[in-house]
Amino acid sequence: MSHERLNPHKVAPELQKPMIALGQHISGNIDPTLFELIKLYASMLNGCAHCIDIHSTDAMRAGESTARLFGLIAWHETPFFTDRERAALALTEAATRFGPHGVPDDVFEAARVEFEDRELAYVVAAIGLINMWNRFGVTFQLTPPSAARLAH
């Protein structure tokens, strides 16, 4: 088990304020279910235990099904997601794990079919923001919030 290296929220709380504000702004401009799926899937791709814990808990509280949550990591193989969600998940994957040529044209065009331009800008902002949060979680090995509850 890893230990928390440093908690940036304690040593630089002012840093998270604009990130939280940006998240709130984004959440008001894209579908909330889609926002949770993006945050959870990017966190899974990045191996961020802290964020996976937060976003799976948030999604369950919002009524997301366990089949969709557990199937998210294998969304390519499941029938649980709409075309719109699949386009966002493919874009999340491509924009989280840039290949040698960035986001492939076919992935971008599939997202453009499903989203109006303004909303697509917010989807990409959501992907970028969760990737930044994941960088904190993975680099500092932040303890998942559920860890204290499960330790008892």
pLDDT in tens, 10-59: 999 999 999 999 999 999 999 999 999 999 999 999 999 999 999 999 99
Is residue 1 over pLDDT 60?
no
Q: Which residues contact 65 (CB under 8 A, 6 or more apart)?
A: 80
Find out whether 103 and 91 touch, Cβ atoms under 8 Å: yes
Binning pLDDT at 50, 70 and 90, where does residue 91 land?
Answer: very high
Binning pLDDT at 50, 70 and 90, where does residue 9 land?
Answer: confident
pTM over 0.85? The answer is yes
